[in-house]
Amino acid sequence: MERVYIFDVDGTLTGSRQPMHDIFSDFFQNMISQVPVYLVTGSNLEKLQQQVPEQILNRVAGVFTCSGNELWQSGKRIFKKDHRFPAEMIAFVERLLRQSNYTIRTGRHVETRPGMLNVSVVGRNANLQQRNAYNRFDHEAGERRVIMARIREAFPEYEANQGGQISVDVSLKGWNKSRVHAHVQEKHGAAECYFFGDNIKKGGNDFPLAKAILDAGRGNRVFPVKCYDDTWEILQEHFAANVELASRVA
């Protein structure tokens, strides 16, 4: 039975907005020579190229950017799905951000990407220290959960999911990472899918793909991780010992 591996990037293969560790990169390049691998991220290709080496991006079976709304293979874009978000939604989101009590603002708070909006109180220009600080604040205050609920209530035809450390991803319902599984099924038939992600809980932007994979049954597995070290450890155990990976779904 063929097995296909699917990986989120931020928090799964790298630190948040950080480049891939050199030793892990070497290991990963050996892995992708043995099995089909897909990457999926909420970021665009330009941001992804700052994190993952070109020799990996050009050799994996596919790279899904913008939460699955773009597919790249060997550096060429295979498809792009886009959507024009209504002006009233942009204005609503901007009001939500202004209402936040969090005082540090770094710029680029509402970013339009193919098929999605990326929304951040602290802003996409935040450095690593500022990202970590906002993430700690949000963990205590639950601010992103409130923002997500307000968007869903005001615009029920859209979905809002937690994206990475600092943001909320907004898209039309169904325009999320779950479409990656449909593509893998089309290309690889009854292959088993193994998915690694750090934001798999309901409300996270990895959840739709994790649910689609598990709902398909068969030998599919989903592995929640907290950092790239977790991913690396699991993969090393599997490829070194040639044993079955055990599902870590709670």
For residues 192-203, give the mean pLDDT: 92
Q: Would you say residue 249 has pLDDT above 70?
A: no
Structure token digits, residue 108: 């680029």
Tokens 């989120």 identify what position?
Answer: 8
CA distances from 192 to 82, 188, 219 (A): 30, 9, 5
pLDDT tens per residue, range 135-187:
999 999 999 999 999 999 999 999 999 988 899 999 999 899 998 998 998 99
**Residues 215, 143: one domain?**
no
Give me the chain's average pLDDT, please: 90
For residues 65-87, give the mean pLDDT: 93
Of 144, 172, 200, the last residue of a domain is 172
63 in Cβ contact with 73 (< 8 Å): yes
Q: Residue 240 — pLDDT band, cuts 50, 70, 90? A: low
**Residues 91, 147: one domain?**
yes
CATH number at residue 202: 3.40.50.1000
**Residues 96, 153: one domain?**
yes
Determine the structural domain holding residue 213 and report its residue range.
3-80+175-241
Q: Would you say residue 242 has pLDDT above 70?
A: no
Structure token digits, residue 56: 């990996």
Q: Residue 1 — pLDDT band, cuts 50, 70, 90? A: confident
**Residues 26, 38: one domain?**
yes
Backbone dihedral region for residue 104 (phi beyond 0: left; psi -120 to 50: alpha; all else: beta): beta
pLDDT tens per residue, range 84-110:
999 999 999 999 999 999 999 999 999
**Residues 188, 223: one domain?**
yes
Q: Residue 202 — pLDDT band, cuts 50, 70, 90? A: confident
Tell me the three state secondary structure of residue 140.
Answer: helix
| Total structural domains within the chain | 2
pLDDT of residue 247: 35
Structure token digits, residue 185: 């099924």
pLDDT tens per residue, range 36-61:
999 999 889 999 999 999 999 999 99
Of 124, 143, 172, the last residue of a domain is 172
Round to whole Å and give the CA distance between 11 and 17: 9
Round to whole Å and give the CA distance between 43 and 50: 11
pLDDT tens per residue, range 122-133:
999 999 999 999
For residues 217-234, give the mean pLDDT: 91
Of 137, 172, 207, the last residue of a domain is 172
Parallel, antiparallel or unpaired: strands 37-40 and 62-65:
parallel
Round to whole Å and give the CA distance between 172 and 151: 12
Residue type, 189: G
* The 62-65 sheet, strands edge to edge: 76-80, 70-73, 62-65, 37-40, 3-8, 192-197, 221-224
Residue ranges of E strands in 74-178: 76-80, 110-113, 116-120, 158-163, 167-172
Backbone dihedral region for residue 174 (phi beyond 0: left; psi -120 to 50: alpha; all else: beta): left
Q: Residue 244 — pLDDT band, cuts 50, 70, 90? A: very low
**Residues 191, 67: one domain?**
yes
Round to whole Å and give the CA distance between 243 and 154: 48
pLDDT of residue 76: 94
Q: Would you say residue 239 has pLDDT above 80?
A: no
Backbone dihedral region for residue 242 (phi beyond 0: left; psi -120 to 50: alpha; all else: beta): left
Q: Residue 245 — pLDDT band, cuts 50, 70, 90? A: very low
